[in-house]
Amino acid sequence: MSSTTVPPARSGFSPSEYIICLNGIVWREALRFLHQRERFISALVRPLVWLFIFAAGFRQVLGISIIPPYETYIPYEVYIAPGLMAMIQLFNGMQSSLSMVYDREMGNMRTLLVSPLPRGYLLFCKLLAGTAVSLLQVYAFLVIAWFWDIAPPTIGYLTVLPALVLSGLMLGALGMLISSGIKQLENFAGVMNFVIFPMFFASSALYPLWRVQEGSPMLYYVCLCNPFTHAVELVRFAVYGKMNWVSLAVVGGCTVVFMIGAIIAYDPSRGLVRRGPGGGEA
Amino acid sequence: MWRRCLLTGMFAWLAAAAPASAFVAYVSNEKGNTVTVIDTDSWTVTKTIKVGQRPRGIEFSRDGKFVMVAVGDDDTIQMIDTKTQEIVDTLPSGPDPELFTQDAAGKTMYVANENDNTVTVIDLEKRARLGDIQVGVEPEGMAVSPDGKILINTSETTSMAHFIDTATRQIVANVLVDSRPRFAAFKRDGSELWVSSEIGGTVSIVDPVKHEVTGKVTFEIPGLRSEAIQPVGIGMTKDGKTAFVALGPANRVAVVDGATHKVTKYLLVGQRVWHMDFTPDEKYLLVTNGVSNDVSVIDVAAQKVIKTIQVGELPWGITIAQP
């Protein structure tokens, strides 16, 4: 039996202490990412398969229409690129959460949670670290896509960054919230199926919403309510230096809600999930 | 000293930031019986002018004072004053005028009358008909050689490019090209004549001296059957290094190397892309998309479609000049 002594919470910490904590968590996530080359490769291969194979077969899906933010007709590959960027972040957010379940199973999480810094801050650092990793993956994807003639305006590579940060935070927070309710690593596969695929397919990532509306008005409303749709649209507009205010509000709002939910869920005294005897980790 | 440098820098910055010279584009809408006016600075429609029935061929007069538009079902050519943007006069064409061209001085106009198998010669100063030249069936494409000595007319059903001596107004040679030739364009140096064949799916390169087809531009777009590739309008840069060919229902404009005659790129535009014209500075090329009722703007240097602008019903022809 191991015992963990949680130091009494201090009322205030210096900024440097916060930075040391952030640095440690980000560095750990970066090291883990660098050591898992397969993860990086698979994170790239997944969207590229969609881009090169799926897009080739589904060119007619887009039809002939000009949809904002585009100002002219675009090939299907160009249309799905922002959806694939968000997909990278969706998978990364879930994988990052997967690592939390792993950490909890292996006991590594205790090391993190014994930190005297506020629990919410620790989780936020973890979220930032996951988002930073997802940004690396997205930009690597954009470099490869450039060779495939998917070249947004040069300034778009910069203007998309804040949108990617926000969508990365939202998807990471969602993953964190979900991971808090998973006791064992094995259960996570089911959640992947029940969360990732519905979120991805019931969104504007692969087909424009006007097309969805033509096929099923009901599904159209489901897509509209899906935060992932708004993450995709936020990224899509940002790539062309434009702002989609509705998507910004939805993504920003969801980030806050998911983050608060995750903080509550990871609080042993108020957790959403029933803990084992003593309130420790399962 | 530093103030002078600052002032010079500010002027340089202002000059660089100033918008490019604005041109004005006139688009004939075949079904809408209108001409749409587009400002090429803001890329917005500034006016829609009601014209006669079935407007197709459209071109600025050489002095830029008028835009002339062939209104086929009214059997005439209407003149739009570019200042007032109103129809001020008509020119006497034959029945069902479709496309026309002018000599370099802008004194003589040649009109292809689709339903009459003739080309009408018009004196633009007197606005009077000088005579008709009998050509093949369904005449359409028109071009004058850079030296002004030869007029080209393509006849759709005869599948020929007729070489007409502008002095004698006699046909001096006929060159057989692929089926349904729609448009003809000379290279600026007069070394080559390009003729697009809608049904044949090719652009024939003709030697204007030997009157022989010396090569052909062919097109292949993955995922599209060959029947959907129907070359019509041609736009060639002044240096002759690059040509753009509208491919009709393929919804693409092909970028063709002027020297090798090979397609280097296909640009996605609207539905049934038909005719095109460059802005005078050759920075942009505007193409009409008949079925999707819009005009796509191509950045010539980047070879990219940057914008698409909604116009009237069934846009057909386009002409651009300084306002």
- Residue with the larger pLDDT of the pair A276 and A94: A94
**Residues in contact with A159: Cβ distance below 8 Å, sequence separation at least 6, in sequence order:** A238, A239, A240, A241
Q: Residue B71: which of B58, B81, B60, B82 has the closest Cα?
A: B58
Per-residue model confidence as pLDDT tens digits over A25-64: 778 777 777 777 777 788 888 888 888 888 777 766 565 5
Least confident span in A89-93, B8-12, B124-128: B8-12
A38: contact with B, CB 8 A cutoff: no
Chain B hits for A71, Cβ within 8 Å: 306-308
pTM for the whole structure: 0.80
Contact A73 B305 (CB under 8 A): yes
Distance from C-alpha of B250 to C-alpha of B220, rounded to nearest angstrom: 10
Q: State the angle between helix axes of A119-147 and A37-49 in degrees (0 to 180), rounded to the nearest 10.
A: 50
Element of type H or E holding B79:
strand B76-81
Per-residue model confidence as pLDDT tens digits over B169-210: 999 999 999 999 999 999 999 999 999 999 999 999 999 999
Give B155-182 as a DSSP string.
Answer: ETTTTEEEEEETTTTEEEEEEE-SSSEE
Q: What is the 8-class DSSP label of residue A6?
A: P
**Residues in contact with B262: Cβ distance below 8 Å, sequence separation at least 6, in sequence order:** B217, B256
Confidence grade of residue A280 (pLDDT, cut at 50, 70, 90) = very low
- Terminal Cα-to-Cα distance of chain A (whole angstroms): 13
Per-residue model confidence as pLDDT tens digits over B80-118: 999 999 999 999 999 999 999 999 999 999 999 998 899
Report which residue type is found at A63. Answer: G
Is pLDDT above 50 for B16?
no
Contact B251 A75 (CB under 8 A): no
Q: Distances in Å between the alpha carbon of A117 and those of A12, A281, B245? A: 9, 19, 66
Q: Indicate the SS3 state at residue B296.
A: strand
Is pLDDT above 70 for A1?
no
Is pLDDT above 70 for A95?
yes
Q: Residue B56: which of B84, B85, B40, B76 has the closest Cα?
A: B76
Mutation target vs A (from B224, B273, B286, B292; most A CBs, 10 A cutoff) = B292
Is pLDDT above 60 for B14?
no
**Residues in contact with B261: Cβ distance below 8 Å, sequence separation at least 6, in sequence order:** B205, B215, B216, B217
Least confident span in A139-153, A220-234, B188-202, B273-287: A139-153
Distance from C-alpha of B105 to C-alpha of B111, rounded to nearest angstrom: 16
Question: Residue A282's pLDDT is what?
Answer: 35
Chain A hits for B224, Cβ within 8 Å: none
